[in-house]
Amino acid sequence: FESGDEAEVDMKAGVVRNLTKGIERRFPQLPEKMLAILKAGGLVNYIKENSGL
CA atoms within 13 A on the CB side of 10: 10
Residue 46 falls inside a structural domain: yes
pLDDT at position 52 is 62
Question: How many domains is the chain partitioned into structurally?
Answer: 1
Is residue 1 domain-resident? no
Tens digit of pLDDT at every position of the chain (53 positions): 999 999 999 988 999 999 999 999 999 988 999 999 999 999 999 999 988 65
Assigned domain for 19 exists: yes
Strand (E) positions, the chain?
7-10, 15-18, 23-26
Q: Are 16 and 24 in contact (CB under 8 A)?
A: yes
> Is residue 11 in some structural domain?
yes
Q: What contacts 24, CB < 8 A, 6 or more positions away? A: 15, 16, 17, 18
For helices 32-40 and 43-51, angle between their N-to-C axes, nearest 10 degrees? 100
